[in-house]
Amino acid sequence: MPDRLSIFEVAKQANCSIATVSNVLNNKGRVSAQKRKDIMKIVTAVGYRVNSAGRNLRMKRTEIFGLLFYPSCAEIFGNPFYAEVMGGLERRLTQAGYHLLLAGYEAATSTSPIPDFLRTGKVDGIILLGRFPTEIIRSFSRLKTPLLLLDSNAEWPLDSVVSDGFSGGVQLVRHLAEKGHKRAVMLAYAWEDYNIDLRIQGFRTGLREFGLDEGAHSVIRTSLSHSDLYRDLKARLDGENPPTAIVAVNDTLAVALMSMLQADGYDIPGDISVVGYDDEKIAQTSTPPLTTMRVNRPELGRAGAELILERTSVPKSPVAKIRLPVELVERESVAAPRVLAAAWPDSRPVEE
Amino acid sequence: MPDRLSIFEVAKQANCSIATVSNVLNNKGRVSAQKRKDIMKIVTAVGYRVNSAGRNLRMKRTEIFGLLFYPSCAEIFGNPFYAEVMGGLERRLTQAGYHLLLAGYEAATSTSPIPDFLRTGKVDGIILLGRFPTEIIRSFSRLKTPLLLLDSNAEWPLDSVVSDGFSGGVQLVRHLAEKGHKRAVMLAYAWEDYNIDLRIQGFRTGLREFGLDEGAHSVIRTSLSHSDLYRDLKARLDGENPPTAIVAVNDTLAVALMSMLQADGYDIPGDISVVGYDDEKIAQTSTPPLTTMRVNRPELGRAGAELILERTSVPKSPVAKIRLPVELVERESVAAPRVLAAAWPDSRPVEE
DNA sequence: TTGAAAGCGATACCAG
DNA sequence: CTGGTATCGCTTTCAA
C-alpha cells in the first residue's frame, strides 16, 4: 500500500473542502451540479481512489467478507462444484463493491474457534462454504456478525442457501416411475450430511408418492467405500425382487457403480437403470452418459451473496433459508425395466 | 464489524497509557516486565484484539495480499494443481499474519486494468496465480506494488516461482534413454505457455544429451485437440523409424493418448512407452499407471509466500526467480522398447 | 450549498 | 521506562 494522494489533494485542486469531495464521491445529494462536475473531473484527472483504510476506520466497515472452508482451502478447491458456486458468489459481491477474504478454517483459527480475521475486524461477515462440524457452526451461531451457510449445514436457524435435495430425490423417483420402474434402490455414503439426508428423504417420499416398493432396504448407506457399497448392492441384485433402477447420491458414485456393474456383465440401461446427482462433468462422458439432477451452481453463489448483503444492511431481518430448485437432466442411463418390457410387451415404455 | 473494545479500554483497566499497551502488544522492548505482564493479563481477560482498520490506517499496511486468477476464480478452482499450491501459500502467509483477498481478474477490474482492491489500498501486494495475457502482466509490471508471479509467466523480470520444466523435460528423456529408447516424440498443445516451452526445450536438450534421434519432427505441437494430436502422432507411428516412446506435456493428454493407442491395438508399455507430466491424480488410476514428473505443489505456494513477504519487507531487494525441482515418478507405462529387446536380446533392459 | 472540525483506533515520536 | 499527543484518510454532524 504505497503512498497515494488523499482526499485533501483533490479538495485543494478543486478549491473546496474535503467534505464536499466526500459528498460527491459518495453521491450524497447536497452538492451543486457544477461543483460535482468540477470535482469529478479532477478526480478522474488525478486518478484518485478513496483509501480503504481511512474509510474502514471511519465507517466501521471493510466491505470484505471472510470465505471459510473446512478444513482447508486445498480440500475444497479442486472441487468443480464449489468453483462454480464461487463464480456466482464473486460476481454478485464484486458488483456490490465487496470482496472475499479467503481462509481454510484451520489456518484462520490458530487460537480461538473464531477466525482471527473476524476478531480483528478485517471482515464484515463470514460465509461458510460447504459442510462444517456441528461444534464449529455452534460457535459461529453465537456471533452477532453476519453469517451465511452456503451449501452447508442448513438445519441451523441461520441464513443459508442449499439446493433442494428433497425435491431432487422426489423428481428422480418420478422419472423412474414414468419409465415404468417399480423397484429402486438408493445408494449413499455413510456420512452425516444434511443435503444427502434431504435427497434420501425425497427419494423415500417419491417411492411412496409414485407407488414404488418401499422395502426396508430401499436405501443402502452402509459404507464410505465404493466397493463396499457395490457389494451390498450386488447382494440386493442377486436376492429376491431385485431393483430395476439405482439412484446414486452423486455422479461419482453412480459412475463407479456403473463400471462395476458393467464389469459384472450388466448392461446399462438394458439390464438396470442408473441415475446420479449433481450433474458433474463426468456425467456427460461416462458410458452411458448419466441421467442426473442438475444444481444451478452459480445461482447458489449469487443467492448467497444476496443474502449476506441483505443481512449486512439489515442485521435484524428474519433468518432467510433458501432452497434452490434442481433440474432433471435426461441422458442415456435410464430405460424401461426389462422385466416390465417382457411382462407387458405393449406397455407404454416399450411402444417408444 | 461490530463495535469491539479499543485499546483505550485496555489502557484504562491497566492504569496506563495507550502507548504502553501498544508497545506491549507489538513487543517493543521498552516496557518493564511487570507492566507487560499486567497488561497482557488484562488483554487476555477482556479478549482484546487490535482493530485492523486503525492499524492499517496508521501503518499504511493491510497485511492482505490480493490473489488474482485469470480470467475468473471459477476457471482456476476445480484445478487440483492450484488447490495444492494454494494450500502451501495459505499456510505460510497465515503464519506470517497475512491473509488473501480473492478475485478473478475480470471481476476485479471493471474499470482500469489494475484491480480496484489494489487502487483503494485494500492489499499490500498481488499474487498472480497461473498464466495471464502478456498485456496484463505488462500493466502490473509497471506498478511499484509487490508482485508475485506464481506458476505463471516467468519470462518477466519480476519475482516468480515456477517448477523447473526444463529439468523435467531432460529427466524424462534420461529415463527413456536408460530404458533403452532411441526415438521419442513429445506432444504438447499448440498453446503459448512458458512452462510448456521449458518442458519442450528440456526434452530437446535431453534428446541431444542422451543421444536420441533429434529429427525435425520430434515435437508435435500442432493442435489444441487430443484427437488432432493423436492423428499426427499416428502418422509418425505409421511412418519410417517410428518413435518407441511418447512424452505427453501433461498427464491428461498422456492418458487420452494411451486410450486412443489402446483402442488402435497398441499395448502400453509393450508396444510403446508413454510418460506424462504433473503427476495428476489420474496418473495413478490410469491403465497402465503413468510414469510422470511430480511437482511439489505445496512447496510452490510456500516459496511464493516467502518471496512476496520478502519483497514486502525489503522492496528494493533484487528480483528473485525461483525454479523448483521436479521429481520422476516411475509407474508402469514405460518399458524397454520392443525393437531393442528383439535386436539385442541380452541387452540390459531385457535381463531384468 | 458549503466548510470547519470531531473522531474512528492505532502507532510512534519525543519529552519527561 | 512511561505517557501525551500528532497523525494516518475518511465520513459526518453542525453551523454558516
Give pLDDT tens digits for B205-247. 999 999 999 887 899 999 998 999 999 999 999 999 999 999 9
* pLDDT tens-place string over residues A294-329: 999 999 999 999 999 999 999 999 999 999 999 999
Q: In a 3-state reduction of DSSP, which class is residue A8?
A: helix
Residue B96 at interface with chain A, using a CB cutoff of 8 Å: no
Strand bridging mode B326-329 / A184-187: unpaired
Q: How far is the CA of B23 from the C1' of D5 (A)?
A: 16
Residue A13 has pLDDT above 70, yes or no: yes
Rounded CA gap, A190 and A192, in Å?
A: 7
Q: Using 50, 70 and 90 to split pLDDT, how confident is the model at A1? A: low
- Nine-digit cell string for B85: 499450491
Unique residue bearing C-alpha cell 464536499: A20
Residue A342 has pLDDT above 70, yes or no: no
Q: In a 3-state reduction of DSSP, which class is residue A192?
A: coil
Q: Using 50, 70 and 90 to split pLDDT, how confident is the model at A73? A: confident
DSSP conformation letters of B269-319: TTT-EEE-SB--THHHHSSSPPBEEEE-HHHHHHHHHHHHHHHHHSTTSPP
Say if the Cβ atoms of A73 and B94 lie within 8 Å: no
Say if the Cβ atoms of A94 and B86 lie within 8 Å: no
Report the pLDDT value the prediction gives residue B1, as an integer from 0 to 100.
Answer: 55
Between A341 and A149, the more confident residue is A149
Of A159, A161, A165, A137, the closest CA to residue A150 belongs to A161
Q: Name which of A51, A79, A91 is nearest B78 (Cβ-Cβ).
A: A79
Domains of chain A: 7-50 (1.10.260.40), 64-163+298-324 (3.40.50.2300), 165-294 (3.40.50.2300)
CB distance B103 to B115 below 8 Å? yes
In Å, how far are A67, A169, A312, A313, B14 from A139, measured between CA atoms?
Answer: 16, 32, 19, 23, 29
Closest-CA distance, B50 to chain A, in angstroms, reads 6
Residues of chain B with C-beta less than 8 angstroms from the C-beta of A145: 2
The contacts of residue B32 (CB under 8 Å, 6+ apart) are none
Residue B190 has pLDDT above 50, yes or no: yes
Closest-CA distance, A87 to chain B, in angstroms, reads 5
Report the pLDDT value the prediction gives residue A100, as an integer from 0 to 100.
Answer: 96
In chain A, count of helices (H) and strands (E)?
17, 12
Q: Chain A 186-215, CB below 8 Å of chain B: which residues? A: none
Residue B341 has pLDDT above 60, yes or no: no
Number of residues that make up chain B: 352
pTM over the 0.75 mark: yes
Q: What is the mean pLDDT of residues A208-224?
A: 91
Report the pLDDT value the prediction gives residue A216, as an integer from 0 to 100.
Answer: 73
Residue B79 has pLDDT above 80, yes or no: no
Say if the Cβ atoms of A90 and B102 lie within 8 Å: yes
Q: How far is the CA of B13 from the C1' of D9 (A)?
A: 30
Q: Give me chain B's average pLDDT, please.
A: 91
Residues of chain A with C-beta less than 8 angstroms from the C-beta of B60: 1-3, 53
In Å, how far are B78, B171, B287 from B246, measured between CA atoms?
Answer: 28, 14, 15
Q: What is the mean pLDDT of residues A235-262?
A: 94
Report the pLDDT value the prediction gives residue B310, as an integer from 0 to 100.
Answer: 95
Between A304 and A152, the more confident residue is A304
Q: What is the mean pLDDT of residues B133-160?
A: 92
- Nine-digit cell string for A135: 461444534
- Nine-digit cell string for B126: 498481488
Closest-CA distance, B112 to chain A, in angstroms, reads 10
Residue A340 has pLDDT above 80, yes or no: no
Report the pLDDT value the prediction gives residue A349, as an integer from 0 to 100.
Answer: 43
Between B327 and B28, the more confident residue is B327
Q: What is the mean pLDDT of residues A164-171?
A: 97
Q: Name which of B1, B84, B94 is nearest A121 (Cβ-Cβ).
A: B1
Report the pLDDT value the prediction gives residue B153, as an integer from 0 to 100.
Answer: 84
Q: Which residue is nearest to nucleotide C5 (CA to C1')?
A: A19
Report the pLDDT value the prediction gives residue A2, as an integer from 0 to 100.
Answer: 58
Q: What is the mean pLDDT of residues B275-287?
A: 92
Residue A119 has pLDDT above 50, yes or no: yes
- Report the chain A residue with the minimal C-alpha distance to residue B117: A99
27-86 on B, CB < 7 Å from strand C: 28, 50-51, 53-55, 57-59
- Nine-digit cell string for A12: 485543494
Of A74, A71, A100, the closest CA to residue A87 belongs to A100
Rounded CA gap, B118 and B285, in Å?
A: 43
Closest-CA distance, A280 to chain B, in angstroms, reads 12
Burial environment of residue A160 by CB neighbours within 10 A (0 to 12, 13 to 18, 19 or more): buried
Q: Name which of B90, B102, B121 is nearest A1 (Cβ-Cβ).
A: B121
Report the pLDDT value the prediction gives residue B303, as an integer from 0 to 100.
Answer: 98
